[in-house]
Structure 1
Amino acid sequence: MEIPEFFNAQLLSELEALSGTPCYVYDEATIRRQTDIMKKFPAPFGLFPRYAMKACPTRAILALVTGEGIGIDASSGFEIDRALRAGVDPTAISLSTQELPSDFDQWIKKGVKMNACSLSQLRRYGEKFPNTSIGIRFNPGLGSGGTAKTNVGGPSSSFGIWHEKKEEVRAIAAEFSLKIERIHTHIGSGSDPAVWQRTANLSLALVREFETVESLNLGGGYKVARMADEVSTDLLKIGEPVAAALTEFAEETGRKIRLEIEPGTFVVANAGYLVSRVQDVVDTGTGGHQFLKLDSGMTELLRPSLYAAQHPISIIPRGRTVEDMEDYVIVGHCCESGDLVTPAPDDGEKLAFRNLPKTQIGDWCVIGGAGAYCSAMSTKNYNSFPETSEVLRSENGDLNLIRRRQTLDQLLANEI
């Protein structure tokens, strides 16, 4: 992706007056476009798309996405409560979680759907809700992610019930007269489309073995191109063989299986930008590097440090035209060398430079691909930096503040 032309000096000046820097900016038009594509995923017997809210759970984003008829995939009880406070219909929420709270029954009674992600979760559900329906998240035996840290399938992953434990699932379901109505699989974020397709086939094989199943949830994790040399998953293209398999399955069995998908990154990644200010320019002499120090960093953008993730970066000069280009390493404001915005691809501990317009202190730095797992996964409050503000750019170009910057009093509020 490229940084849009609307990030010009005029807009950035308006943004500074509205919220200061650093701040996140989300583009409403992009989010609506992505949800429209989601809703067109091929599904011959019905589709219910959900948004993986862990990608970006800000209230205004939840309202925007669910207003498009998209449900919610929650990964914790706190996410459920957050979605409910945002006005989301509880019957549109599905819970798949590593940690099932002791009071989970409060949400089930409101209509929230649940996928049991372990045998103990299935038993706990059965004890509280016998003679009801439940979904099962299986680990299908393989996984794929943009990095090993985002691969959540296969024998090295704890997510879901191992696929060979089907008989134990049946036994617990029978003990509590549970109807298994949904099979759920999810193999990772940024997954390889070919591996995802294999997983879809394995998931349908699980559906075949549980005759009461009415819907198949294939999770999300669709690869999104943030950089020019990356390739996005074509959602409609990868959906075609899934639709064909569901049609063939219906012809063989008479069972018309409804499909569910749960993208997060696909919806918001390239709709979000981190706007920061260059607050210092330093160098380490001959044979060294030129560094741009931002008023942001891992407190807002952890992905480069955590995954060696690459993000598009643009410098917008303040009050001047620049033609000369320079190589810069870009770093954050936290007091550790790991706060690196431009790591080498596939090695987060190595420096890499970007060729950018000759930069001065005070220039703006706009980082793209920051809509997913940035605000939601930041190291806010490290070095006591406050949680930053968030802005939604409407379809008519207006800037609307959707999260205020945290104050020091708010940061200290729970200390005793």
Structure 2
Amino acid sequence: MSVREPSAERAALLVERYGSPLYVYDAERVRAAYRDFAAAFPYAPVDFHYAIVCNKNRHLVRLLHSLGAGIHANTPGDAFAALSAGVPAHRIVYSGTNLDAADLDYILSRGIRLNLDSVDQLRDFAARSPGGAVGLRLLVDEPSRPNRIGVDPAELPEALAIARAAGVRLIGLHMYAGTNNRSLERFLACFERMVAASALLPDLEELDVGGGFGVPYRDGQEPLELPTLGREVARRMEALSTSRGRRIRLVVEPGRILVAEAGSLLVKVISVKERGGRRYIGVDTTVGNVVVESVYYPHHRVEALSPRSAPLELPTDVCGNTTHSRDFLARDCRLPPLAPGDLLALRDVGAYGYAMSSHFLNRPRPAEVVLEQGQDILTTRRETFADLLATQVDA
């Protein structure tokens, strides 16, 4: 594992300045992750669109956009966050599902291009934008693996008929291989199904390999073979472009793989209990402030920032500051001796950490800070109790 920011000394200063718990993101790790990711796809033309759903921190969105990334949105709120950060509409691609009239009107009125999820949605689009151009999300799973997302390849002739009747061009296909996917074989199998289905689209301009590129949250897990994936996708795209007699654009939507490892959640030890051959470390945050097993992903590395000695051979649970029975931020850790006031860092929380935090258990959400060229930049203020009730109105 590489050296993580923030270090123990810097973490102590950040907590002193901004309080605890505290989300901290290392901007340089995001830069490096984006450059490595982009370099893995030796094909042109190619567009990279950051999946903003995993972290809409405005500073990070602007950073990635400055490096050349567009934005992938799958809700109007995603699109709004991107536009608010200064990303122009033509650099946003929207791949949503079950858009009602207000959703469609919002996206179309801003000139954001769409990948639609169903034949019904194509009819809705055609009624609003005759003569327009649109893509489709394709169901890339085999029949034995039910999936609610996308148009079945068998439905493409019907979709083409609807499009022709309205003068709409079907210009692209989008796939989704699943979240936190580290399987090269899974990505390529889905991509090949999409390439095969694209033969039915005479106006094809682009194929979107989607997102879901996974990271290893546990020590010993193998990372996604990204360079191999990029080469294999590029090889298939070259063959497709040759067969079409024109360059077909590749669109890729990295999210978690760009920001997960750049994020840490700093927390303070409040109490230590030992009983029954087990240790319980109570901290000043809760599952409502971070993604854990009961919500999205089952494991985050936990690091004691000022260890007094080697880790104890004592099963240790890191416990949140509510009485919710599943308020555990980590289970069965091996940590050194700890005392109230010590700092811990939950690592790899840059994706779906703050993004999925909530007011569940009525603890205000932490602040967010970005470390950038030696500076620490407050990007999201710490919530107060008043924020917990800010949207309520008196009858």
Give the TM interval when normalised to the shorter protein.
over 0.9
Q: Which residue of 1 aligns with 2:220?
A: 229
Other structure's SS at 2:329 match: coil
Change over 3 Å in CA distance of 1:86–1:251 after alignment to 2 = closer
Structure 1 counterpart of 2:382, from 385, 394, 405: 405
Specify the alignment match of 2:160 in structure 1. 170
In 2, Cα distance between equivalents of 1:213 and 1:177: 15
Q: Deviations over 1:191-218 (max 9, x none)?
A: 2211111111111112222121110000
- The partner residue of 1:357 within 327, 336, 341 is 336
**Does 2:235 correspond to 1:250?**
no
Distance 1:219 1:308, change over 3 A: closer
Q: How is 1:17-32 mapped onto 2 (pairs within 5 angstroms)?
A: 17-32=16-31
SS at match of 2:369: strand
Amino acid of the structure 2 residue aligned with 1:388: P
Q: State the Cα distance separating 1:323 from its structure 2 match.
A: 4.4
Residue 42 of structure 1, CA deviation: 2.3
Tell me, which stretches of 5 or more residues in structure 1 are unaligned?
143-152, 343-351
2:324 aligned with 1:336, yes or no? yes
Alignment of 1:276-315 (within 5 A): 276-283=267-274, 285-286=275-276, 288-307=277-296, 309-315=298-304
Q: Which amino acid aligns with 1:117?
A: D
Q: Note the alpha carbon deviations across 1:276-321, whole angstroms, 9 max, x for none.
A: 11111123x33x421111111211222332355221111123xx84
State the secondary structure of the residue aligned to 2:156: helix
Are 2:49 and 1:50 equivalent residues in the alignment? Answer: yes
State the Cα distance separating 1:101 from its structure 2 match. 3.8
2-structure distance, mates of 1:404, 1:372: 19
Equivalent residue letter for 2:157: E
Distance 1:316 1:124, change over 3 A: same
* Matched AA of 1:384: N
CA contact (8 A) 1:140 1:154 kept: no
When the two structures are superposed, what TM-score results if normalisation uses the length of structure 2? 0.93
| Corresponding residue for residue 124 of structure 1 | 124
TM-score (norm 1): 0.89
Counterpart position of 2:345 = 366
- Aligned partners of 1:42 and 1:12: how far apart in 2? 36
Tell me, in whole angstroms, the C-alpha distance in 2 between the residues paired with 1:158 and 1:122: 16
Q: Distance in 2 between matches of 1:306 and 1:179?
A: 39
The aligned amino acid for 2:55 is: C
Distance of 2:133 and 2:21 partners within structure 1: 46
SS at match of 1:169: helix
Structure 1 residue 256 displacement after superposition: 2.0
Deviation, 1:81, is 1.2
Which residue matches 2:359? 381
Whole-angstrom distance in 2 between the partners of 1:99 and 1:136: 13
How many aligned residue pairs are there?
Answer: 390
Aligned residue for 1:217?
A: 208
- Residue in 2 that maps onto 1:79: 78
Q: After superposition, give the CA deviation of every residue in 1:223-255 in whole Å (9 maximum; x if it has no partner).
A: 212222112213222111111112222333313
Structure 1 CA distance, aligned partners of 2:303 and 2:235? 43
Q: Are residues 1:208 and 2:199 paired?
A: yes
Quote the Cα distance in structure 1 between the aligned partners of 2:303 and 2:351. Answer: 19
Q: Is the 8 A contact 2:61 2:85 kept in 1?
A: yes
Instruction: After TM superposition, give the deviation of residue 154 of structure 1 in Å.
Output: 7.1
Question: Could you list the per-position Cα deviations for residues 167-191 of structure 1 after superposition, in whole angstroms to 9, with x for gaps in the alignment?
Answer: 2211221221110111101121122
Letter in 1 for 2:4: P
RMSD over aligned Cα, in angstroms? 1.9
How far the C-alpha of 1:5 sits from its partner, in A, is 6.4
Q: What pairs up with 1:255-266 in 2 under 5 angstroms?
A: 255-266=246-257
Q: Paired residue for 2:7?
A: 7
Query: Cα distance 1:409–1:398, how it changes in 2: closer, same or farther (>3 A)?
Result: same
Return the offset for 1:20: 0.5
Q: Secondary structure at the match of 1:292?
A: strand
The whole-number CA distance in structure 2 between the counterparts of 1:259 and 1:106 is: 26
- Which residue type is aligned with residue 169 of structure 1? A
Q: Is 2:147 the partner of 1:157?
A: yes
Runs of 5+ consecutive residues of structure 2 not aligned to the other structure: none
| TM-superposition CA deviations, 1:329-375 (whole Å, max 9, x none) | 11222322212222xxxxxxxxx411111011111110111000111
Amino acid at match of 1:71: G
Structure 2 counterpart of 1:274, from 258, 262, 265: 265
The aligned amino acid for 2:363 is: F
One-letter amino acid of the structure 2 residue matched with residue 267 of structure 1 = L
Indicate if the aligned counterparts of 1:187 and 1:221 stay in contact, CA closer than 8 A. Answer: yes
**What amino acid is aligned across from residue 93 of structure 2 in structure 1?**
S
Partner of 1:348: none
Post-superposition shift, 1:45?
3.2
Quick check: 47-56 or 229-238, which moved more? 229-238
